[in-house]
Amino acid sequence: MSLTPLELERYDRQIRLFGIEGQVRLKKSKVLIAGIGGLGCPAALYLVAAGIGEVIIVDSETVELSNLNRQILHWTSDIGRPKVDSAVEKLRILNPDVRIVGIKRVIDEELLESLVPNVDIVIDGLDSWKIRFILNRICVRYKKPLIHAGIHGMYGQLLVVIPGITPCLQCIIPREPPEIKPFPVLGATPGILAMMQVVEAIKLITKIGEPAINKIIVYDGYTMTFREVPVNRNPNCPVCSLKQ
Amino acid sequence: MAVKIRVYATLREALGWSSLDVNIEGETTVGNLLSNIKDLWAQIQERGLDFYTILINGHNIRLIKELDTVVRDNDVIDIFPPAAGG
């Protein structure tokens, strides 16, 4: 696989970072974005802009007015439309070179079983622990890197899961914590966490830098601090147990 | 022995501190240690233990011995409410 003259021009500034080889790696890659909301929208924009070969986005919801402070691919005129349609339309305009697949379906185990084995990396844009745990389990089963983020108000956390190497989500959060819905959120909070997800995804694909593994990064917008919590694989993890 | 306790996000906000160095005599458990830090324990009780992730040296205590997990010299305990939104 090679790059066209237009691709060489479009990606010039990042080819200066990781070379044509890195850009070709991006072009060959497939990324699944589970949920096209506060995290998924900015993550999709930057992944598509970066020239990922194929981006698959999944979401079952329609755009609501209260989404618009943070779900930046959805605009006022999109209220009532499926989020997937709203996102795919704009992403295709942003970068026609990227194959963008939109799937308007409830995210469940059956759907994830059909999608996860065929992608290189999964971006967690979900807002429920129950589905996150299913996603984590399927990513571990198929050994696909999962880039988790969660947000609340002015806070968020990032965890990069590389199955077999790092702790999985349930090593750290074994049981579903109680959820607060609707949760408060400043729009920029998922923007920050989504950018961190994209940086980690691109690093993994292009093989530059060091992945942010074996730690949770906790973002605190009130103090504008990023603190690292070291985490370890848990031999008793219900999902990726070393004893299995 | 010396133990470090670090708290994050809304817990840090509620308590007004982010890190605490504790010196105690002899071996203890996570439950004993935390219940003796009045403001922290009150917050944990208020929202419920399930709301928080408690790690000791990077391992969740739920997968060890819950609050009966033994604390040793130089252990680091990290406590945060995982953010669910997306």
Please check whether residue A133 touches B, CB under 8 A: no
Of A129, A167, A174, the CB nearest to B84: A129
Distance CA A122, CA A141 (A): 13
A48 domain-assigned: yes
Interface of A with B in 58-87 (CB under 8 A): none
A39 domain-assigned: yes
For testing contact with chain B, the best of A229, A239, A242 (most B CBs within 10 A): A229
CB contact under 8 A, B50 and A175: yes
Query: Helix, strand, or coil here: B4?
Result: strand
C-beta of residue A148 within 8 angstroms of C-beta of residue A161: yes
In this structure, what DSSP letter does residue B68 have?
G
Residue numbers in B near A129 (CB within 8 A): 82, 84
A241 domain-assigned: no
pLDDT of residue A242: 66
CB contact under 8 A, B50 and A177: yes
Please check whether residue A191 touches B, CB under 8 A: no
pLDDT of residue A61: 98
A172 domain-assigned: yes
Residues of chain B with pLDDT under 50: none
A240 domain-assigned: no
pLDDT of residue B82: 97
Distance CA B84, CA A173 (A): 11
A32 domain-assigned: yes
Residue A200, both tokens: 């980690």
Please check whether residue A149 touches B, CB under 8 A: yes
| Gap from A231 CA to chain B (nearest CA, Å) | 4
A236 domain-assigned: no
Residue numbers in A near B60 (CB within 8 A): 171-174, 234
pLDDT of residue A244: 54
| Gap from A66 CA to chain B (nearest CA, Å) | 14
C-beta of residue A72 within 8 angstroms of C-beta of residue A191: yes
Residue numbers in A near B55 (CB within 8 A): 172, 229, 231
- Can you give the pLDDT of all 244 residues of chain A as single tens digits? 899 999 999 999 999 999 999 999 999 999 999 999 999 999 999 999 999 999 999 999 999 999 999 999 999 999 999 999 999 999 999 999 999 999 999 999 999 999 999 999 999 999 999 999 999 999 999 999 999 999 999 999 999 999 999 999 999 999 999 988 899 999 999 999 999 999 999 999 999 999 999 999 999 999 999 999 999 998 889 899 866 5
Interface of B with A in 16-75 (CB under 8 A): 18, 48, 50-53, 55, 57-60, 62-64
In the A/B pair of chains, how many CB contacts fall below 8 A? 103
A238 domain-assigned: no
Residue A145, both tokens: 């890197």
Taking alpha carbons only, the member of A143, A127, A124, A121 closest to residue A135 is: A124
**Which residue does chain A place closest to B19, by CA atoms?**
A227
Question: Which CATH number do you get for residue A46?
Answer: 3.40.50.720
Distance CA B14, CA A242 (A): 37
CA angle A210, A214, A220 (to 5 degrees): 90
- Residue B4 phi, psi dihedral angles, 5° rounding: -110, 135
Please check whether residue A244 touches B, CB under 8 A: no
Q: Is A51 exposed, middle or buried (0-12, 13-18, 19+ CB in 10 A)?
A: buried
CB contact under 8 A, A177 and B57: no
**Which residue does chain B place closest to A41, by CA atoms?**
B86
pLDDT of residue A32: 99
Distance CA A44, CA A54 (A): 11
Domain that holds residue A95: 5-230
Helices (H) and strands (E) in chain B, counts: 3, 7
C-beta of residue B82 within 8 angstroms of C-beta of residue A193: no
**Total structural domains in chain A?**
1
